[in-house]
Structure 1
Amino acid sequence: MYLYLKSEMIKTKRTKIRKMLLMIPLLGSLLAIGFSFLGGSEIVPLSVETIINHWGILWLSVLIALTTGLLNNLEKKSTNFKTIIGLPVNIQKKEWSRILFSTGLVAVGSLLLIAALIVTSLLIQTSPHLVSFSSCILAVILMFFTSLWQIPFCLWLSRKTNLFITLLLNSMLNLNLGSLFAPTKDWWLIPYSWQLRVQIPLTKMHSNGIPLPKSSELLSYSVIPIAVVLSLLLFISLTLIAIRSFNKLEVKS
């Protein structure tokens, strides 16, 4: 497996994939801070919480879609997967390594977001305002775990369609379905709402970006283990489906 992972690492050197890891957390953070300053002095102390909220609503799903989509594009534009099919390699291990590699890239992106949160809290000393900084870090980590299922899904989808459709579908479903269902009792039925739902009790902020009252039912921590377990189960299921689909890959002549 190490050799397969090493192959993916070498393949992505000097590509847009690695640049996305820095650009997306930075862009998402700067835009969120910009929105906070536009909101006035009362909103500025909420900058860290706002960055996390925006990350869950849009940018995390964008990062996953771009990472997996660009990874598939490398194969499509070079040999259209002919190299993989033609070589004596284990196809299932190859796809599994691509999923693991994409997971590692998204993890790095999440760590870079945490770094952006640290810088923001140092520049704006009153932020975070609603919760402790440790709660904000935990929120980012849990959002990573509850979005893992999107990685095998986007790898499969971008292989079947293209980067544009994958980016549009994954980001728009998250932006619309996720933010719509996250604050409802049916949040667990919609996978796109999981990453938003787990950050609500940790940041004390509604998915629409408004601070919640202390009596709100949305502040219950009981949803966190449910969301994590559901996401891991869906990740395993979609990974098996993606590997089986990749194993049946046929190269078009």
Structure 2
Amino acid sequence: MKVYIHAELLKLRRTFTARLVWLAPLLTLLLCAGLMAGSFFQSASYNWWYTMILPGAISLMGIGIIQKDRKKLNYRAILGFPTSLSKVWLGKIGAVSLLLLASSLLLLAGITLSAFVFPFPAALSLKDSLTAASLLVLTFLWQIPLCMFLFMRLGMYGALLLNLLGNVIATVALATTELWWVIPYAIPARLMCPVINTLPNGLPVPAGDPLLEQGVLLPGVLIALGWFLLLSLLTMQAFKRQEAR
């Protein structure tokens, strides 16, 4: 699989998709510095990241990696080679997963360094910041195969619109309810409540609120990873059918 992932990453060199790795976290940090600089800069950065910036970035990353082959004679550039389409698809998922990880690490670095610029009591500890970044990577992975599949079926605007709407609606309507685990879009926002002590709307979680309980972290991650595995397998089968067309 390393060969397939490496091949996909090479295709993305000097593309907008690759630039999103640093553009997305930079936009997040600049946005929060302009609007909410101060003691809540770090928690606000994570809040903007998972509610708006990351859903858009991950959608565009998934779209970009499929679009690269789609432009080349409608996938014939890969269909003509004696290679496993299953591995090609999984290689694409793996490549975007690495882009997601790299982008999240850059955001983590920026937020950590911001403590020297905004040294206020409300700053997150390095442990909480690392936990938040790790949880967001794990709970957003499942959107990668989904966005790739949506682009193949609905095109760029359809995939981008549906994924953004799914994130926004589920975050607003379900993240703070007992049904947060039903729709995976709501999981990241729910898990961030006890980690960064911030509600999806950006306000602090009240002291003693049940949303601060950390018992949801492991179940949330397992559910999200389950969706990632399921969607990876289902979309892989759909991609393999390209060969028959």
TM interval, shorter chain, is over 0.9
Q: What residue is the counterpart of 2:174 in the other structure?
A: 181
SS of structure 2 residue aligned to 1:189? coil
1:21 equivalent in alignment to 2:15: no
Q: Alpha-carbon deviations, 1:206-231, whole Å to 9, x = none?
A: 11111122211100001111110101
- The AA in structure 1 aligned to 2:112 is I
- The AA in structure 1 aligned to 2:16 is K
Q: What residue is the counterpart of 1:10 in the other structure?
A: 10
**For 2:141 and 2:3, how far apart are their aligned partners in 1?**
23
Q: What residue is the counterpart of 2:119 in the other structure?
A: 125
From the superposition, tell whether residues 33 and 251 of structure 1 become closer, same or farther in structure 2 (CA, over 3 Å).
farther
Structure 1: 4+ residue segments shifted above 3 A: none
Unpaired runs of at least 5, structure 1: 38-43
Report the TM-score, using the length of structure 2 for normalisation: 0.95
Q: What residue is the counterpart of 1:146 in the other structure?
A: 139
Instruction: Compute the displacement of 1:251 (Å).
Output: 7.6
Q: What residue is the counterpart of 1:200 in the other structure?
A: 193
Structure 1 contact 28–51 (Cα < 8 Å) conserved: yes
Structure 2 contact 142–227 (Cα < 8 Å) conserved: yes
Report the TM-score, using the length of structure 1 for normalisation: 0.92
1:81 equivalent in alignment to 2:59: no
Aligned alpha-carbon RMSD (Å):
1.5
Structure 2 contact 112–129 (Cα < 8 Å) conserved: no
- The AA in structure 2 aligned to 1:152 is P
Instruction: Compute the displacement of 1:139 (Å).
Output: 0.8
Equivalent residues in 2 for 1:225-236 (5 A)? Answer: 225-236=218-229
Structure 1 contact 179–196 (Cα < 8 Å) conserved: no
- The AA in structure 2 aligned to 1:18 is A
Task: Work out the number of aligned pairs and report it.
Answer: 245
Equivalent residues in 2 for 1:63-142 (5 A)? Answer: 63-126=57-120, 129=122, 131-142=124-135
Structure 1 contact 178–190 (Cα < 8 Å) conserved: no
